[in-house]
């Protein structure tokens, strides 16, 4: 995949810009990067704090031709790419929390937001990735649940180098996903990198409903399987999944 980088000092949201570019006919591989977002967002309408130069904020335009039921795997694929960069380049020990967060020492370091739009050229998917580079990006109330690469390895991070490494791995796993048996291979790659794949005690918030149980792998679409105490398997397509601790 050929990448085209579109850079901004400050922007409301890289995902918003990438979606607009896709509607205007942008090719697959367009990557919108900003030093700061004034209206960054995460899943479920949450705000993604995006102070200038404190994180890597970028969104990638894809025009996937895979079966629609496998589109959610684009989020899992992206998490695998982030995991590999953090582990291989920065020598950290990340974990992937289903479905779109990457953690270090049980603290969030990266969030991923996939959004779709119909365009004149067909379906486009925008993958937005926000990675905390340094902890000045974090409000005091978030210190217990969020972290940064700099905080974890005591090194100043070159955002451009991080972007280069990440796009290389995104291209690798995107090609795997598009190939024969690609969906199964991406699920396997995700499973080997996430403690949430199987045997994790979790609580899932689904609107006004709360589900408690143990993770039992993934559906072919990437949905999470959770077994409740009465043995029922719940299929989680979307929701807030949190690890259950011993005192919960």
Each residue's pLDDT, cut to its tens digit, for the chain (248 residues) gives 899 999 999 998 999 999 999 999 999 999 999 998 887 655 545 555 567 778 999 999 999 999 999 999 999 999 999 999 999 999 999 999 998 899 999 999 999 999 999 999 999 999 999 999 987 766 666 778 899 999 999 888 999 999 999 999 999 999 999 999 999 999 999 999 999 999 999 999 887 888 899 999 999 999 999 999 999 999 998 877 887 665 44
Class of domain 4-191: alpha beta
Distances (CA, A) of 58 to 10, 104, 142, 216: 12, 20, 22, 32
2-14 core/surface letters (b: 16 or more CB in 10 A; e: else): ebeebeeeebebb
Cα-trace Rg, the chain? 17
Q: Is 206 helix (H, G, I), strand (E, B) or coil?
A: strand
Helices (H), 89-221: 149-153, 159-178, 182-191
Q: How many CB atoms lie within 10 A of CB 155?
A: 10
Give the residue extent of every domain in the chain. 4-191, 198-243
Two tokens, residue 196? 């949430």
3-state secondary structure of 118: strand
- What is the spatial distance between Cα 25 and Cα 120, in angstroms, rounded to a whole number? 7
Residue range 198-243, CATH number:
2.30.30.100
pTM: 0.91
Residue that is written with structure tokens 């810009």 in the block? 17
């Amino acid at each position: 995949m050929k990448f085209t980088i579109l850079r901004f000092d400050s922007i409301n949201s890289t995902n918003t810009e990438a979606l607009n570019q896709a509607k205007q006919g942008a090719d697959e591989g367009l990557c919108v990067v900003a030093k700061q977002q004034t209206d960054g967002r995460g899943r479920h309408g949450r705000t993604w704090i995006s102070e200038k130069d404190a994180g890597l904020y970028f969104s990638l335009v894809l025009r996937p031709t895979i079966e629609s039921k496998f589109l959610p795997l684009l989020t899992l694929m992206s998490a695998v790419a982030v995991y590999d960069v953090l582990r291989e380049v920065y020598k950290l020990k990340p974990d992937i929390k289903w479905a779109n967060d990457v953690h270090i020492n049980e603290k969030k370091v990266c969030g991923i937001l996939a959004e779709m739009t119909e365009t004149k050229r067909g379906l486009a998917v925008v993958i937005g990735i926000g990675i905390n580079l340094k902890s000045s990006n974090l409000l005091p109330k978030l210190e217990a649940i969020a972290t940064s690469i700099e905080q974890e390895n005591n090194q100043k991070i070159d955002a451009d180098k991080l972007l280069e490494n990440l796009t290389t791995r995104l291209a690798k796993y995107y090609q795997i996903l598009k190939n024969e048996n690609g969906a199964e291979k991406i699920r396997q790659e995700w499973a080997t990198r996430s403690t949430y794949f199987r045997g994790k005690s979790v609580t899932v918030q689904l609107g006004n409903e709360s589900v408690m149980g143990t993770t039992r792998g993934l559906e072919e679409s990437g949905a999470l399987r959770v077994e409740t105490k009465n043995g029922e398997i719940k299929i989680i397509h979307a929701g807030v999944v949190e690890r259950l601790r011993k005192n919960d």
